[in-house]
Amino acid sequence: QVLLVESGGGLVQAGGSLRLSCAASGRTFSTYPMGWFRQAPGKEREFVAAISGSGGSIYYADSVKGRFTISRDNAKNTLYLQMANLKPEDTALYYCARSAIGRALRFSQNYDYWGQGTQVTVSS
């Protein structure tokens, strides 16, 4: 069983920044790719960013490219999402997830463990 716990969400004005963290349990964190997804009210969950186990491969949704940075610290079993120049449309519940498949990381069905989410609200 893998436990993922997100933190760092909050209320921020447009143009502001936040850093989300995702703490993972277990001793095999570095083995698996990880991803961030988000879900706004009334919308489907969407891909935000993903990173390979080593951190050598990174992927972003077009909507966040250039503003968000995904990273990981395998020594601390922690995944991060640095978000800058936030926009009201970034408002959502943000989830971290672990991929067991290691490919097609933009698709939520390829992730087997999910956190509970952390709320990000961006005011205009």
Q: How many CB atoms neighbour CB 118 within 10 A?
A: 22
pLDDT in tens, 86-106: 999 999 999 999 998 878 899
Local confidence band at 83 (pLDDT 50, 70, 90 cut-offs): very high
| Cα angle for residues 117, 1, 60 (degrees, 5° grid) | 45
Residue 98 has φ and ψ, to the nearest 5°, of -105, 135
pLDDT in tens, 6-54: 999 999 999 999 999 999 998 889 999 999 999 999 999 999 999 999 9
